[in-house]
Amino acid sequence: MKPEEAVKRIVDNFTALRNELGKVIVGQEDMLQKLYIAILCGGHVLIEGVPGLGKTLVIKTLSEVMNLDYSRIQFTPDLMPADILGTNIVNEDENGKRFFEFYKGPIFGQMILADEINRATPKTQSALLEAMQEQRITIFGKEYQLESPFMVLATQNPFEMEGTYPLPEAQIDRFFFKLKIDYPTPNQMLEIIDKTTEDYQPELNKVITAAEIIEMRQLIRQIPISTKVKEFAVRIVMGSHPIERCPISRTRKYVSFGASPRGAQTLIMASKVLAIINGRYNPSLDDIREMAKPTLRHRIILNLRGQAEGVEVDEIIEDIIYGVAEEVQK
């Protein structure tokens, strides 16, 4: 496929997807764009927002219009790993002979909603780790491959922290994006009321298939990117490390751990898709700037001083981008 055809196909699919979701979802354009980017990059997404903002509805509708198997897991303190992965059950055949039969858990889907993931214990949270990284699980020494495309969309409430278990850094780094969902505007609220309190039942069309997603993922990796843009992304990631020679004073002052190399990888991949959505063949420095917050905000860990002073990671990322941009212009 020619580059022009590939770009047009990705843009057309995004337009069709946005139009179909618009029949049900009001606003949340930025969230929809980021979810589309993560899907094409094969990444998982952590979504943070208060209850009632439509996170679950967006994910369920997205899986429907993309014709993907949807599975929801409600995380609670008493949820066990077997409740997610599945387990072996003793069964009996017609001759009375007993045998083990594996019953698949809800992880055997394509688009998995891990609702309120921070309410489960670390043992249960870690059950997702192998699935997210390797797209497979191991039960009693036997491996089971998960169907492709496979994507975990996890939600958490940023305010109700009592009785929750924060995700460990090793697992949170597996998420491609961390998205923050804002409240709707007054006009959007009126539209939400109209669509949810009246007899409104739109018919959704399936616009993308699993095979198309896999093909588009391969096309994304073929998109070229200039050395200048790659160096800009690397400088931003390195600017999150609180080392002595770091030029960003707020990083040295408030950050305990910076973004890993996986942060640079996701920043580059996300910028590629963003450039294509905007009709360009090559990512620019502006694409890197726009993708920096969702790709890095969960990978930068504040120290005790930063937490005590209520420092926002997004503000530090802004300082890093500004500082790196000044260095590039010198």
E-assigned strand segments in 63-150:
70-74, 86-92, 98-104, 111-115, 136-139, 142-145
314 CB burial (10 A radius; 0-12, 13-18, 19+): middle
In the chain, at which residue ranges do the beta strands (DSSP E only) sit?
44-48, 70-74, 86-92, 98-104, 111-115, 136-139, 142-145, 151-156, 175-180, 255-257, 301-302
> What confidence tens digit (pLDDT) does each residue in 296-325 have?
999 999 999 988 988 899 999 999 998 887
Residues of the chain with CATH 3.40.50.300: 3-77+107-215
Per the listing, tokens 């007054």 go with: 186
pLDDT at res. 328: 64
- Is the Cβ–Cβ distance between 23 and 58 less than 8 Å? no
What pLDDT is attached to residue 56?
Answer: 82
Q: What is the pLDDT of residue 163?
A: 61
Do 252 and 231 form a contact (C-beta atoms < 8 A)?
no
The CATH 1.10.8.80 domain(s) of the chain lie at: 223-329
pLDDT at 175: 92
C-alpha 94/C-alpha 133 separation (Å) is 40
Three-class SS of residue 139? Answer: strand
- Which CATH number applies to 223-329? 1.10.8.80
DSSP per-residue codes, 74-97: E--TT--HHHHHEEEEEEE-TTS-
**pLDDT for res 5:** 72
**What pTM does this model have?**
0.88
As a CATH number, domain 3-77+107-215 is 3.40.50.300
Residue 59 backbone phi and psi in degrees, to 5: -65, -45
- CB count within 10 Å of CB 24 equals 20
Report pLDDT for 64.
87
What does each of the 330 residues of the chain score in pLDDT, given as a tens digit?
566 777 788 888 888 888 888 888 877 788 888 999 999 998 999 998 877 777 888 888 888 888 888 999 998 888 888 888 888 888 877 777 887 778 888 999 899 999 888 888 888 888 887 788 888 888 878 888 888 899 999 988 776 666 678 888 888 888 999 998 888 788 888 888 877 777 777 788 888 888 888 888 888 888 888 999 999 999 999 988 888 777 778 888 888 888 989 999 999 999 999 998 888 888 999 999 999 999 999 999 999 998 898 889 999 999 999 888 766 665
Q: What is the CA radius of gyration of the chain?
A: 21
